A = this chain, B = another copy of it.
């Protein structure tokens, strides 16, 4: 600290409206998808320069007449056909040289998507591809860093709010839900403790049907109690495992 330096006031600055302070603003989406087995990330292989052929997050410039949120929704719809996707802002990346071509800052957001076969295929037709989180290719710019940061924030979020609705199908089994949490937290969870805790939240409704796709015995299907779910979503809970 240099408390003895004489302060001078910067705001309001004299440089208001100076054209040469304008720059590009992009938004990049870290798209997480869950297919009841793996936590995946949607990446895009660039077809044009710059960085032709390299892997990148899905992103776009923010247009002058759209908010950052709308730009992110736009690029996500254009790449996946999906709308009304849960998204949450993470960080802004603003180093001068982060993009060697031009001055551009980027606001990163993560999105949570429930994967089904349709989504997987329709997305891959257009040069985008789902990668397992632990098997990512090299990416352009600071996109790996964005992913790391987004995953950290997703972990924090999962401790405080339920995340299942966005990633799981309407009906799901407890082993599926547990696996999702194991993938997010990147550690194993004791199934007895997990079931005890998640059931004590009264957030799940047990159905009479079983899903036998993963075992001979079959696992009971559950759905979310949406009233409880929204309540926890708004007020938070503690799911520290």
Binding site for B on A (CB under 8 A): 1-13, 15-18, 20-25, 44, 46-49, 56, 58-69, 74-75, 77-85, 89, 91-92, 94-96, 102-103, 105, 107, 118-119, 122-123, 125-128, 156
With the chains together, A22 CA to B103 CA distance in Å? 10
B107 contacts A94, C-beta separation under 8 Å? yes
With the chains together, A89 CA to B105 CA distance in Å? 14
Q: Is the interface of A mostly helix, strand, loop or mixed?
A: loop
With the chains together, A20 CA to B23 CA distance in Å? 10
Between A17, A67, A85, the greatest number of chain B beta carbons within 10 A of the residue's beta carbon is seen for: A67
Query: A9 is contacted by which of B1, B6, B79 (Cβ under 8 Å)?
Result: B79
A125 to chain B, nearest CB (A): 8
A139 to chain B, nearest CB (A): 13
With the chains together, A66 CA to B63 CA distance in Å? 22
B13 contacts A105, C-beta separation under 8 Å? no
Chain B positions within 8 Å of A78 at CB level: 7-11
Query: A79 is contacted by which of B7, B107, B122 (Cβ under 8 Å)?
Result: B7
A3 contacts B119, C-beta separation under 8 Å? yes
With the chains together, A156 CA to B23 CA distance in Å? 32
Chain B positions within 8 Å of A95 at CB level: 67-69
Q: Contacts A81-B5, A83-B2, A94-B69 given; indicate if A60 touches B10 (C-beta within 8 A).
A: yes
Measured CB to CB, the nearest residue on chain B to A60 is B10
Chain B positions within 8 Å of A48 at CB level: 12
With the chains together, A75 CA to B74 CA distance in Å? 34
